[in-house]
């Protein structure tokens, strides 16, 4: 329902932030590739299912997009949702009062 909540909840987990770091360093990775690089580059021993669920949340939040090709699934970072959510409080003034519903 609430996309803003989904974005912040997705970013609230350190593992998911590192996943976004990895996709920033190398976009279009598969699930196994991400698992391997989380272990070798960041010392995270997260299981395949755990990483898969993290990617599902990131996808629901719109921060990761997916391209299927055969039995493989490539993940791409999408930073579009990050822009407006923080500037909500940066330009102090009418950000809260005039808006209808930006919960």
Partner DNA sequence: TAGACACGCAAGTGTCCGCTTGCCTATTAT
Partner DNA sequence: ATAATAGGCAAGCGGACACTTGCGTGTCTA
Residue identified by tokens 């997916």 is 66
Smallest separation (angstroms) from its own copies to the CB of 28: 9
**Chain center to CA of 91:** 25
85 binds its own copies (CB under 8 A): yes
Partner touching 36 among DNA, its own copies, none, CB below 5 to 8 Å by kind? none
Smallest separation (angstroms) from DNA to the CB of 73: 4
Which residues within the stretch 21-80 sit at the binding site for its own copies (CB under 8 A)? Answer: 21-22, 24-25, 65, 76-80
**Residue in 49, 79, 87, 102 binding DNA, rule: CB under 7 A:** 49
State the residues that interact with DNA by CB under 7 A: 9, 12-13, 15, 30-32, 46-50, 52-57, 69-73
């Amino acid at each position: 329902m609430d996309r803003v909540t989904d974005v912040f909840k997705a970013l609230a987990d350190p593992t998911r932030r590192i996943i976004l770091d990895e996709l920033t360093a190398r976009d279009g990775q598969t699930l196994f590739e991400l698992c391997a690089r989380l272990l070798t580059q960041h010392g995270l021993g997260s299981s395949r299912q755990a990483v898969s669920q993290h990617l599902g949340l990131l996808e629901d939040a719109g921060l990761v997009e997916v391209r299927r090709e055969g039995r493989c699934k490539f993940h791409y970072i999408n930073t579009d949702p990050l822009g407006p959510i923080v500037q909500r409080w940066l330009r102090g003034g009418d950000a809260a009062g005039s808006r209808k519903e930006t919960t």
